[in-house]
Amino acid sequence: MVDISVDPLSAAFLIDTNVLIDSWSGDAAVIQALERLPAEAIFVPVIVLGELYFGARRSTRVVENLARIDTFAATATVVPCDLATALDYGEIKTALRLLGRPLPENDIWIAALAIQHGLTLVTRDAHFDHITGLTLDHW
């Protein structure tokens, strides 16, 4: 079990897939922003790892990309899903359906983890803006 206890006086961040990919692609703004955060304030959803592994298997450099993800995952604080995540997921998906604002399934799970643990979601996807109760930081 991962300890997600966060000091209420300090910010903690859940990193979305697109932010990690952009940092690995050399996006200077993302790299600088990540470097300004203390390591203990950065969390990665297990869903993001799944998306990264899927992308690696579809790439032309499968072995290299899988190794990069493995190395990253070994040192990252990975946030797993549990029953509370599922409850938040159900609430978010229902609210989005009522608004007529569908989102990719994985993004709803990521948002549910952020809300569940009181983490700020760092993303480049504007569609997260439609989720009530989600704290966002758009890089």
Residue 7 lies in a domain: no
Residue 2 lies in a domain: no
Per the structure, the count of domains in the chain is 1
Residue 9 lies in a domain: no
Residue 84 lies in a domain: yes
Q: What is the 3-state secondary structure (H, E, C) of the chain?
A: CCCCCCCCCCCCEEECHHHHHHHHCCCHHHHHHHHHCCHHHEEEEHHHHHHHHHHHHHCCCHHHHHHHHHHHHHHCCEECCCHHHHHHHHHHHHHHHHHCCCCCHHHHHHHHHHHHHCCEEEECCHHHHHCCCCCEEEC
- Give the CATH number, domain containing residue 37: 3.40.50.1010
8-12, 74-78, 105-109, 125-129: which has the minimum mean pLDDT? 8-12
5-9, 30-34, 94-98: which has the minimum mean pLDDT? 5-9
The domain of 120 spans 18-138
- What does pTM read for this prediction? 0.90
Tell me what pLDDT residue 40 has. Answer: 92
Residue 5 lies in a domain: no
pLDDT by residue (tens digit) across 110-135? Answer: 999 999 999 999 999 999 999 999 99
Residue 11 lies in a domain: no
Reported confidence tier of residue 11, pLDDT bands at 50, 70, 90: confident
